[in-house]
Structure 1
């Protein structure tokens, strides 16, 4: 049997595997899902991935047979990136302990911009010029923005942190009514081009 060409991409929740088996007959494709093993067989073509880099949930995995490829969706048992298909990575489920909480079905909390700003400001206080190249630069401007931030109300602080972080440092707004409505767009300086790094 020949090992068939394949490739994958992943999110934290699942891994999508493309198996290039042109003209595969859906009736003759044999696929099996196990927690740490995946196998594919069709005629002389086969693919066995074992041990998988992480654990999957066999009951949630599925596949579709297309004209050019077979697309397999492996649902991860624990969220996170594998950065590979097979290997002896420690199984995240064995060391996974759910965080202590009163309810396992609690809704995902909104971002606490106030907590983030406090954390950043506390971290900035102790930095000297050796650790932070911005310290000792234009101290008048730095002090001006620190004063605005320190004297601002909660909405203004949230607006400043959200606008600055979402715009990649190209926008600083104090208007929460405007910033709170949606994502803040990146506005690079005139003559510059914004490039997203992966």
Structure 2
């Protein structure tokens, strides 16, 4: 007998199998569903899939005969992706040692997501624990602001005046703590390299 051309796609719940047998007579088509075996025969043409990659529910599985192809719906007993129609892998429903890894595949994804959350939290926490003396840029602008607030809070009056004057007159591009230098003249604007300073009305 000649093996017939076929293809499939799947979801976690079922496999949809297309058997290309143009003009098949529904009265002569024979299909048998077994837990790990599928058989299609029509005259000289046949397709036997054994062992199926996973177990199917023979009672829930069905098919329709069309003009171009026969569409078969194989309902899976265990919700999981097969990746192939046939395979020598142990049946998750009959081999006890594979029952735990099968469900853990789906729960493993959820655990992994929680692990990412925990990892992110750990990173953020460790960043918060770093002192601004170790790294003034740690944690972004808010921590940098805290760093400057600490300098400002601990500074004497001249240093505070220098910081305020230099920051305001330079449009936020310069911050000096040297009052003797800043009090002499207006502080010029020094935009970062590659930037152009524009005054907004």
Q: TM-score, normalised by structure 1?
A: 0.54
Change (3 A) 1:78 1:44: same
Change (3 A) 1:61 1:141: farther
Cα distance, 1:86 vs structure 2:
0.6
Aligned to 1:49: 49
Q: Which residue does 1:124 correspond to in 2? A: 120
Instruction: State the 1:127 CA deviation.
Output: 4.2
> Structure 1 CA distance, aligned partners of 2:113 and 2:46?
53
* Residue 90 (structure 2) aligns with: 90
Matched residues, number: 123
Closer, same or farther in 2 for the Cα pair 1:24/1:120, shift >3 Å?
Answer: same
Q: RMSD in angstroms over aligned alpha carbons?
A: 3.4
Flag structure 1 segments of 5+ consecutive residues without an equivalent.
100-111, 129-135, 145-198
Structure 2: distance between partners of 1:81 and 1:3: 25
Q: Which has the higher helix share?
A: 2
Aligned mates of 1:11, 1:22 — CA distance in 2: 26
**1:89 CA displacement:** 1.3
1:13 paired to 2:9: no
Seen in structure 2, the aligned counterparts of structure 1 residues 21 and 121 have a Cα distance that, compared at 3 Å, is: closer
Name the CA distance, whole Å, in 1 between partners of 2:32 and 2:138: 63
Question: How far is 1:122 from its partner?
Answer: 2.7
Specify whether residues 124 and 48 from structure 1 end up closer, same or farther in structure 2 by C-alpha distance, changes over 3 A only: same
The alpha carbon displacement at 1:138 in A equals 7.7
1:140-179 map, 5 Å: 140=140
Q: How far does residue 126 in structure 1 lie from its aligned partner after superposition? A: 3.5
Q: Determine the C-alpha separation between the residues in 1 that align with 2:50 and 2:8.
A: 15
CA offset at residue 20 of structure 1?
0.1
Secondary structure at the aligned position of 1:18 is classed as strand
TM-score w.r.t. length of structure 2: 0.53
Structure 2, unaligned runs of 5 or more: 104-109, 125-134, 145-201
